[in-house]
Amino acid sequence: MKSKFSLVYLLLLFFTLLVLSGCGIKSVTKDQNKIGSEKEQSSSITQLSEPIEKKPITTQPVRQETQVIFPENPKITAIPVLYYHSIAVEKGNELRIPPDQFESQMNYLHSNGYSTISMDQFYEFMNGTKRLPDKPILITFDDGYQDNYSNAYPILKKYGFTATVFMVSNFVNGSGFMNSTELKELIANGWNIEGHTANHLDLSTLTGASMSPEISEAKNKLEQITGKEVKYFAYPYGKYNDEIIKSLKLAGYKMAFSTERGWAKDGRNIMLVNRVYCYTDMGMNEFVRRLQNPSY
Ligand SMILES: [Zn+2]
């Protein structure tokens, strides 16, 4: 009995340490469709404080229907791609970031001269074209939670920022998720709505024909809803393999985002773009640290 108890205790201690160390376990919850299972795949999170860069004097580009063309900026070799899920309050769920924390982060970006770029501009960067503002950043949201529209959008708009939503096509108009009118309004205001499968399934569990509804049919459906071509993709749960990548390319996806940590570096595999994970209570020091070092 005693040794059994000790084993249970040791296991509990082990898992507690794993959680505390921010270990990149690909957690699969009871309900895979719900928030809470798309944390970064990473090593430990260390708390380091680095000096904050001084605010440069920049001129904000004027947003137009057509993209702003920046001069060549060859010194930029990596761009942080932030990824969020929900901007709302829910205690104990690190994927729902309270609006005030999100606002502080956006305020920091704005005060420090960052400019959000579009997905197409980012795609061109990954292919070697460096027509970019001095401090480019890409902001992304996975799944398509309704609060992306009601909470995140007004904050981003206030700072002149835009973002991308990786939308699960069958979640559109669903409870807790954005509806088609909201998605269209975001697009009209410079946002991108891109692919994140039809049902938020772990694609690595599917093969051949069963993948098609999640990849090509989901892409078509999202295009019908938004009236815009869907060219980019994010892997649910960060899961991918060669067959998934092949299917994405066949369906017409040009670029795909993982949940692996680090900035997106030009010349790297365009079907496995790294992202910078943002989570509840990460604190401004950690947020800033992730914006200081491409390999944080
Ligand atoms: Zn997701």
pLDDT in tens, 140-198: 999 999 999 999 999 999 999 999 999 999 999 999 999 999 999 999 999 999 999 99
47 CA distance to ligand 1 centroid (A)?
26
CA 106 to ligand 1 center in whole angstroms: 22
- Bridge partners of residue 165, in order along the sequence: 141, 193
Mean pLDDT of all residues in the chain?
Answer: 84
Q: Is residue 152 in some structural domain?
A: yes
Confidence of residue 49 (pLDDT cuts 50, 70, 90): very low
Contact 203, 211 (CB under 8 A): yes
Residues 6+ positions from 34 with CB-CB distance below 8 Å: none
Ligand 1 geometric centre to CA of 202 (Å): 10
Q: How many independent structural domains does the chain possess?
A: 1
* pLDDT at residue 126 is higher than 60: yes
For ligand 1, the distance from its centroid to the CA atom of residue 270, given in whole angstroms, is 19
| Rounded Cα gap, residues 288 and 254, in angstroms | 30
Buried residues in 89-125 as b, exposed as e (16+ CB within 10 A) = eeeebbbbbbbebbbebbeebbebbbbbbbbebbbbb
Ligand 1 centroid to Cα of residue 170, in Å, is 12
Q: Report yes or no on 10 lying in a domain.
A: no
Q: Is the pLDDT of residue 220 over 50?
A: yes
- Tell me if 94 sits within 8 A of 85, measured CB to CB: no
CA of 174 to the centre of ligand 1 (A): 15
Instruction: Give residue-wise pLDDT tens across range 87-107.
Output: 999 999 999 999 999 999 999
275 located within any domain: yes
Going from the Cα of 142 to the center of ligand 1, the distance in angstroms, rounded, reads 5
The neighbouring-strand residues paired with 140 are 83, 164
Query: For position 33, what pLDDT does the model report?
Result: 43
Q: Distance, CA 60 to ligand 1 centroid (Å)?
A: 31
Nearest Cα neighbor of 140 from 78, 193, 219, 97 is 193
- The Å distance, Cα 196 to ligand 1 centre, comes to 7
Q: Is 5 domain-assigned?
A: no
Q: How far is the CA of 238 from the centre of ligand 1 (A)?
A: 8
Q: Bridge partners of 21? A: none
Indicate whether 33 belongs to any domain.
no
What the block records as the tokens of 151 is 């909470």
Residues in the chain: 296
pTM of the model: 0.80
pLDDT at 51: 32
High-pLDDT (> 70) share of the chain, %: 77
* Cα-to-centroid distance, 167 and ligand 1 (Å): 8
φ/ψ bin of 200: left (φ > 0), alpha (ψ from -120 to 50), beta (otherwise): left
Cα Rg, the chain, nearest whole Å:
19
Using the mean position of ligand 1's atoms as its centre, give its distance from the Cα of residue 257 in Å.
11
CATH of the domain at 186: 3.20.20.370
Q: Is residue 270 part of a domain?
A: yes
Residue 218 located in a structural domain? yes
CA 145 / ligand 1 centre spacing (Å):
10
Task: Give the tens place of pLDDT for each residue, 243-278.
Answer: 999 999 999 999 999 999 999 999 899 999 999 999
224 Cα to the center of ligand 1, angstroms: 21
Nearest partner of 114 among 138, 91, 140, judged by Cα: 138
What is the CA(143)–ligand 1 centre distance, in A?
5
Q: Which of 141, 191, 147 is nearest to 167 (CA)?
A: 141
Give the number of other CB atoms < 10 A from CB of residue 275.
Answer: 24
User: What's the CA-to-centroid distance between 197 and ligand 1, angstroms?
Assistant: 9
- Domain residue limits at 247: 67-292
Residue 251: left if φ>0, alpha if ψ -120 to 50, beta else—which one? alpha
Q: Is residue 171 part of a domain?
A: yes
3-class SS of residue 123: helix
